[in-house]
Amino acid sequence: MTQVRRFTINTAGRDFAVGDIHGHFTRLQAALDAVGFNPATDRLFSVGDMVDRGPESTDVDVWLAKPWFFAVQGNHEQMAVDAHRLSHNGRAIYIHMINGGAWLYGLSSAEQAFYVDLLTELPIAIEVMTPIGPVGIVHADCPFDDWAQMLGALEREQGAMQRSIQTICQWSRSRITSENATGVSGIRAVIVGHTVVLQPAVLGNVYHIDTGGWMGGHFTLIDLATLECMPTVNPEMRGR
């Protein structure tokens, strides 16, 4: 597993990040259509939690195969990996299932292994260069006040220490619950999901963009060059 993945500047088109998808790829496509996403030139970065809860979790392999779509590993991807690795542990599977993971256990053992291998390979952090400087992406939070320090720890540490850092990246809500606006130095912005907000919330330079597109809200796409948030209407809610 590569802990960190870095991307050079996109000189041909735009780069967007999107909040948690949770098995609603049809809604995601509608959001992309709404902003005129061009798959020939644009790129889309996911903050993770692409699977569980929604009806299209099995489409994650199709999306990860797209040459313009990239993602970090969220806590739901990690739950799937852990449950599969601890298949002898009924509690691990139960926890995943009650959190929307039942889709995985209706598949054959070979199909389960295929999806788990795919999710295992996702990085914990992504860094994307933009014309105005780099933007970082993790699922939930940055465990350090300095971006380079976090990347160094992810790439250097092993075993329990590395897993502890990963856990904060994937699970922590401490920054948003405490309304910590200190921000993260050494990076232009950090984009996260994990915690549902009615509208994008910015604390320092940390942008929380999970606006519940998977649960009846709307997907927020953020342009990584301008840091402009572009809310899109959930087509299933239009007219209500």
Give the active site residues. Answer: 76
End-to-end C-alpha distance for the chain, whole angstroms: 44
CB atoms within 10 A of CB 105: 12
CB atoms within 10 A of CB 60: 22
Q: Which of 166, 172, 141 is nearest to 153 (CA)?
A: 166
Largest CA distance in the chain: 51
| Cα 147 from Cα 14, distance rounded (Å) | 23
Residue count (the chain): 240
CA angle at 199 for the pair 198 and 205, rounded to the nearest 5°: 130
Coil, strand or helix at 134: strand
Q: Which of 120, 128, 126, 141 is nearest to 51 (CA)?
A: 120
User: What is the side-by-side order of every strand in the sheet holding 15-18?
Assistant: 69-71, 43-46, 15-18, 220-223, 229-231
